[in-house]
Structure 1
């Protein structure tokens, strides 16, 4: 069943059975995720977070590639966000060189994504022995790489486009590629083949894109209204619901992974603009830092963009006072075209 896909025109009972298998397989990665995150936190001494891959993301990946569910290696994902590349490399050296590694810092993905990914088979004995062999993806990235990656997701959420997968408005995709080069230059890394080597040429193209897209005005219009049902989770799990249509974000602390997964399974994502995710973090502050895209927080990205283009943010359009203000929503509809 794990290797099969169910056609959309199949009977409802078969579809329900397939989804139950998928949900159960996701849940089977929770224990390895929690244990590996504890180890990563100890090693990195930095901000760490974890998540079980969203069902919507699983469906998209199955559609895009011939891989089957049981062969996906990133159902459980943890990340460490570190100050510098020196810190990233220090943490990388603490893991076996035999782990499958994708070094997207040395060879960035098309579009500019940078991070180091390790695939670690869970190998604990004792209470966790039944989960041996389950894969956990470990992401190691710098703070600036994290700012870029989460800005891509936040902008995609607001536009209703999967920019992360290279789909959507070509102007925004190009702006993000160039900004990846800006960040790489700051960190002393190669900017990538798609970014002009000449800083003046790169920044001039960025400036033109900013004006044609009204980029900074659009980004500064992002606002979220956060509703917390509980401020702290005894289990370290939080359920986040984000509605980019209204800017509303609901965060609820979960007493256990099982409770959070049950609540998550009852929700339905609606494309890029309405999403739910169950994450493992230590606090609300850590949640905001690890997943700023779910709070539509692109403040640091805006500062980097304004600095690279020498655009005076004081001359941009006024910032709407409310995330659900009608003028704000009308503006967002206009800039998406």
Structure 2
């Protein structure tokens, strides 16, 4: 069994650390950082202890997708410490009760695949379903659509017992639904607004709400609240697009993103994505859980100390080609959403996403991978 980080503190210590994280805790200059360092050490240890359960859920879902021939991609990642702190501040959730510290995501080709996978998971799964949030059948008011399931991890071997009871969240969505969430985050990043958490331009938030309803329409799913009938809805989308220049802005974001053409052949379990303040993004490849956990904790501590706005996240994918298409919001890819918005403003229906067959390239084992091949530069963003 691979070596995974285990919790190094008692649960009472974890609860107290959560209370401090929700308060005014800083590693910035002119502060007594000894307590803060200890609090973050506890929080990181608690988060890292979710790696093994998260991987178990990831593999269990992946197995069912393959067995049932359900097309799509799988990925997994631990929750960023900045997101953990935000959630602790803005809700009554406690650190030891947080249900999405370890998260998996299944992005499926179509709505039929989503329903087939959910049926299979409910019939048979090695971990207990704790709670479900059917945001596809009951969309959020802002238009967000995805099905969330929280599992309680159930150990099957003696080595897995230290992770008993960890909660892991699985999000299941279509590529069309994922393109919507990607665009919300990319536009928010581009405009310097937190649209994902409903902060920023009311016009952009309304546009996303209306486009989500159109996506639900083409997928044959329930439409969210507070949106007009289809004819009026399409007209409002056109008006908002003209007012915001939405297609143009999305095209700017897409053009500003340059994906590396070079394949990286080594298969790593984990990829650490670092979005820097100088508008560069780097991706580091790791095979060992303990290494990537230590690197993540170190970078997050540096960001906290400097008070910067950089982001760092760890993603687990089964092959490196899926990294960008599974978590495209970290690179600004809004192509699927952009194409559908163009169709809508020109009077055409949106379309379910169809993934074309990917080109297979023979590996070159004699060459060592260079992580710099994955660097994405965002220098053009400031020019628009």
TM-score (normalised: structure 1): 0.87
Which residue pairs with 1:214 in the alignment? Answer: 245
Name 1:33's counterpart in structure 2: 54
Q: How far apart are 1:232 and its partner, in Å?
A: 4.9
Q: How far apart, CA to CA, are the structure 2 residues paired with 1:196 and 1:69?
A: 40
Question: Which residue of the partner structure matches residue 274 of structure 1?
Answer: 310
CA shift at 1:15, angstroms? 1.3
Distance change in 2, residues 1:9/1:306 (3 Å): closer
Distance 1:237 1:229, change over 3 A: farther
Equivalent-residue separation in structure 2 for 1:267 and 1:80 (angstroms): 27
3-state secondary structure, aligned to 1:231: coil
For the pair 1:249 / 2:281, whether they are aligned, the reply is: yes
**Unaligned stretches of 5+ in structure 1?**
313-321, 332-337
Which of the residues 77, 94, 105 maps onto 2:136? Answer: 105
Per-residue deviation, residues 276-321 of structure 1 (Å, max 9, x unmatched):
1101002232111110111110011100111111189xxxxxxxxx
1:8 is matched with: 24
Deviations 1:153-180 (A, max 9, x none): 1222222222111111111111111110
Partner of 1:72: 98
Q: Does 1:286 align with 2:322?
A: yes
For the residue of structure 2 that corresponds to 1:266, the secondary structure is helix
SS of the residue 1:164 aligns to: helix
State the alpha-carbon separation in 2 of the partners of residues 66 and 265 from structure 1. Answer: 25
User: Residues 83 and 41 of structure 1: is their aligned pair in 2 closer, same or farther, counting only changes over 3 Å?
Assistant: same
CA distance in 2, matches of 1:110, 1:234: 40
Task: For 2:281 and 2:299, locate their aligned partners in 1 and report how far apart those are by CA, in whole Å.
Answer: 14
Give the direction of change, closer, same or farther, for the CA distance of 1:245–1:53 in structure 2 (3 Å limit): same
Alignment partner of 1:329 is 2:377: no
Quick one: structure 1 residues 9 and 70, their matched pair in 2 at CA, closer, same or farther if it must change by over 3 Å?
Answer: closer
Q: Please, what TM-score do these two structures have when normalized by structure 2?
A: 0.77
8 A contact 2:268–2:320 mirrored in 1: no
Rounded to whole Å, the distance in 2 between the matches of 1:230 and 1:262 is: 27
The secondary structure found in structure 2 opposite 1:40 is helix
Q: Which has the higher contact order (CA 8 A, sep 6+)?
A: 2
Q: Which moved more, 1:61-70 or 1:97-106?
A: 97-106
Q: Which moved more, 1:104-113 or 1:273-282?
A: 273-282
Change (3 A) 1:231 1:118: same
Counterpart check, 1:136 vs 2:168:
yes
Specify the alignment match of 2:233 in structure 1.
202
Q: Contact 1:161 / 1:272 at 8 angstroms: preserved in 2?
A: no
Structure 1 residue 234, shift from structure 2 partner: 4.3
Report the CA distance between 1:24 and its aligned residue: 0.5
Work out the number of aligned pairs and report it: 318
Aligned residue for 1:240?
Answer: 273
